[in-house]
Amino acid sequence: MINKNNIKKTELGPSAMLNPVPVIMLSCRGTGKENSRGNIITLAWTGTVNSEPPMISVSVRKSRFSHQLITESGEFVVNLVDRKLLKACDFCGVKSGRETDKFTECKLTPYYCAELKYAPAILESPVSLLCKVKQQIELGSHDMFIAEIVSVKADSELIDSKGKLMMNKAGLAAYSHGEYYALSGPIGFFGFSVARPEVLKRRLRKK
Ligand SMILES: Cc1cc2nc3c(=O)[nH]c(=O)nc-3n(C[C@H](O)[C@H](O)[C@H](O)COP(=O)(O)O)c2cc1C
């Protein structure tokens, strides 16, 4: 039994301390003429919430220009971020689309897909998730949009000869407590704790 006085833990109070998280660039567009150019917002508060159908949540403050565009169109694209995109990703998280054309400023290319009517994807992103909003929930500081992922577009160079997505080659960035990180490489795989020795050998040799 551990003595309560020997537990070296510091009470930090309640806060949104989940780390690390992905950092993504959400692209969106309004439905009217006045918001007809695409916009990009950087988000860290996003997560997978369902697999059948595939669904994702994003939490956006009401004050963001993108909040208005997503509410208007009911669509957005979640673009995953690699090292090459990271500077643009940070820029899109400190400038508002109200004053800045972020696609132009960051030299990024919007592209449109048949699955969505309004929101463009970012061509330079290695993987883009096309989303249609199903629910909008007011939580307090942020509104959470829960959306169905209706299509995923991936760079063809990331697809192996068997048609499988090699996510390990995408060079994705993570975000932890105010800083961006590169992933250093796999340190295990789903089920490795109970894998048979020959599976362990094969899977770990591959890396
Ligand atoms: C790393 C990072 C993560 C962010 N995560 C969020 C988030 O999850 N939700 C949010 O509302 N704003 C988030 N922001 C802030 C918005 O990206 C920022 O206010 C942006 O300028 C809003 O753009 P807009 O007005 O064009 O929509 C984040 C910013 C950075 C740099």
Domains in the chain, CATH or no CATH each? 18-206 (2.30.110.10)
- Tokens 């096309």 belong to 130
From 24, 37, 42, 71, the mutation candidate for ligand 1 (largest count of ligand atoms within 8 A of CB) is: 42
From 43, 56, 104, the mutation candidate for ligand 1 (largest count of ligand atoms within 8 A of CB) is: 43
Per-residue pLDDT tens, the chain, 207 aa: give them: 777 778 889 999 999 999 999 999 999 999 988 878 999 999 999 999 999 999 999 999 999 999 999 999 999 999 999 999 999 999 999 999 999 999 999 999 999 999 999 999 999 999 999 999 999 999 999 999 999 999 999 999 999 999 999 999 999 999 999 999 999 988 999 999 999 999 998 887 755
What pLDDT score does 206 carry? 58
CB of 93 within 6 A of ligand 1: the answer is yes
What pLDDT score does 161 carry? 97
Cα–Cα distance between 160 and 162 in angstroms, integer?
5
The token duo for 157 is 């160079």
Q: Which atom of ligand 1 is nearest to the CA of 61?
A: 11
CB of 58 within 6 A of ligand 1: the answer is no
Residue pair 186/205 in contact by the 8 Å Cβ criterion: no
CB of 41 within 6 A of ligand 1: the answer is yes
What pLDDT score does 151 carry? 98
Start-to-end CA distance of the chain, whole Å, equals 41
Which residue owns the Cα nearest ligand 1 atom 7? 43
